[in-house]
Chain A
Amino acid sequence: MAFELRNIHKSFGALRVLDDVSLALEEGSITVILGPSGCGKTTLLNVLAGLAAADSGERRGFEGLRFSYAFQEPRLLPWLSARENAAFALAGAMRREEALARIDPLLEAAGLRDARNRKPSELSGGMKQRLSLVRAFAYPSEMLLLDEAFTAVDLKTKLELMDVFLELWTEERRTVVSVTHDVEEALYLADRILVLSQCPARIIESLDIGLGREERAFGSATTMEAEARLYALVLGKTAGSSD
């Protein structure tokens, strides 16, 4: 495994958030971290990205790594156009002309070509999320982190967004870590799903999805078994958690 977290502990004051979390990420794969709301998923992602320091434990293989991050809220600069927002993130990575040449096809692929000169206040919620994904993809990172990137939109937009994401990822495979509380979303995207317990979070299950993506349409019979198992894990732990 290329990247590893070992025995990570993290507390905020008296609140223990991460409790001995260890995980390994395979290069070029999509790992989805699934867990109930408020269990510490974002904290785990921030520890991965180096935005938050763990109280103890080890990060291995992350040295010098560049991260892209699609945040839960899109974090766009309100005074810049969609195109300029994406270009802003690339300012330290390449020249402006190169950045724009990289961004424009991604905006097109994400269905934002006509909206590229609009400011965030002129974009719908789904468009902002798409722009956040475009920005993350455009940045030449080795690891892409997604924090509930598909949850703040309606079902149709969510499906469109996930398809845009998979399309972009297929063209340029990077190591992806996505956190979500949505079982169906996890099943749709992941090569591997790690299930977190209630807070303080521990990994209680690691599930490799052995299906091709074309076989796992939303609600398809082939994914039912895995879906039932994941719901049992999430709900079982939620109902009977003694952590």
Chain B
Amino acid sequence: MPSTLPSEPKARKGADSARTSRLVIGAASLVVLVLVWRFIAFLVGKDILLPPPEKVLGEALSLYPTGKFLAALWATFLRGSAAFLVSLVLGSFVGIAAGLSPVFSAALAPILTIIRATPVLALILVVLLWFPSGFVPVFAAILMCFPVMVTSTVAGVKAADPRLLEMAALFRVPRKEQLRRLRLPAAAPFFLAGAKNSLGMSWKVVVGGEVLVLPFRALGTGMNNARINLETPQVLAWAAASVLLCGLTEWLFGLAIKAASRHGI
């Protein structure tokens, strides 16, 4: 029997080496960014305009263990997670339906265009009249992330190989089984890309919304209060928390996807 299979240990070694290279390049890029920041801060010479990285780090280390910060972080985390999960679930269902039904897709197209074209700031100002301030950033983030999820899922559902669909039709595979075993797995890469974009976007929109509507506990509110007090290092410390939160959740999301993939989900 001819064997055209790649040698597994060799392939794994190659993947490990590529991962290490990516990590090293990523770390080097971060170091360069911090050095450039440090250099520009040195040139500017005024902490109120651009504090150096070590000052922001010191501010962060004193801010992060406080109860005020942790409560704000938790509240923002809940808002971002809620926005992401609602967009994920709603966007996936609507995306699958639009991918399968040209009529539904045509009906949905103008609505998505309007949602996409609406400036998030205008949206937040209007929504503030309808909902309590703590909910406004969530609503705004859902409206921003939902079209991304829908568009990605539609593209994924339509990306199924027509030759596989023809095979399934010939063998009279029920539509439900075709959806479960063929269309959804084929859509997975598109869906995951959409989910990752939505995750990053949900943090940005939630924190941005918080800065505008100032809920009682929120990273955005902390950031805004520091700005009012001209505490620029603290503004950046709050902002860094938002970046870390985004990075951490993206990393956890990646781990969850890998675990799901390992278990054949």
Contacts and interface: CB of A to CB of B under 8 A. Distances in A.
Interface string B175-193: 0010001100100000000
Contact of B5 (A111, A122, A160): A122
Contacts of B125: none
A124 B167 contact: no
B181 A92 contact: no
Nearest to A136: B171
Contacts of B164: 75, 77
A139 B171 CA distance: 7
B260 interface: no
B30 to A, nearest CB: 35
Nearest to B172: A92
A68 B164 CA distance: 14
A154 B4 CA distance: 12
Interface in B121-167: 163-164, 166-167
A207 interface: no
Given A75-B163, A75-B164, A124 B5 contact: yes
A69 interface: yes
A157 interface: yes
B226 interface: no
Interface string A50-76: 010000000000000011110101010
B171 A92 contact: yes
B111 interface: no
Contacts of A125: 2, 4
B166 A51 contact: yes
Interface in B85-139: none
A58 B4 CA distance: 44
B262 to A, nearest CB: 13
A124 B171 contact: no
A234 interface: no
Interface in A31-51: 49, 51
A49 B3 CA distance: 33
Contact of A68 (B2, B3, B171, B181): B171
A67 B168 contact: no
B171 to A, nearest CB: 4
A92 B1 contact: no
B182 A77 contact: yes
Interface stretch (A19-27, A83-91, A179-187, A225-233): A83-91
Contacts of B168: 88-89
A91 B182 contact: no
B174 interface: yes
B1 A67 contact: no
- Of the listed residues B166, B167, B168, B171, the one surrounded by the most CB atoms of chain A closer than 10 A to its CB is B171
B177 to A, nearest CB: 4
Nearest to A75: B167
Nearest to A124: B4
Nearest to A73: B163
Contact of A88 (B2, B166, B170, B173): B173
B2 A89 contact: no
Contacts of A49: 170
A200 interface: no
B174 A71 contact: no
Given A73-B163, A77-B181, A77-B182, A124 B173 contact: no
Interface in A110-156: 111, 122-127, 135, 139, 153-154, 156
Contacts of B182: 77, 88
A93 interface: yes
Contacts of A135: 171
Contact of B167 (A71, A93, A160): A71
B1 A124 contact: yes
Given A68-B171, A79-B185, A125-B4, 9 more contacts: A49-B170, A67-B170, A69-B171, A71-B163, A88-B177, A88-B182, A89-B173, A92-B177, A122-B5
14 contacts: A49-B170, A51-B166, A69-B167, A69-B170, A75-B167, A80-B181, A91-B181, A92-B171, A92-B172, A124-B2, A125-B2, A125-B4, A126-B1, A160-B1
Interface of B: 1-5, 163-164, 166-168, 170-174, 177, 181-182, 185
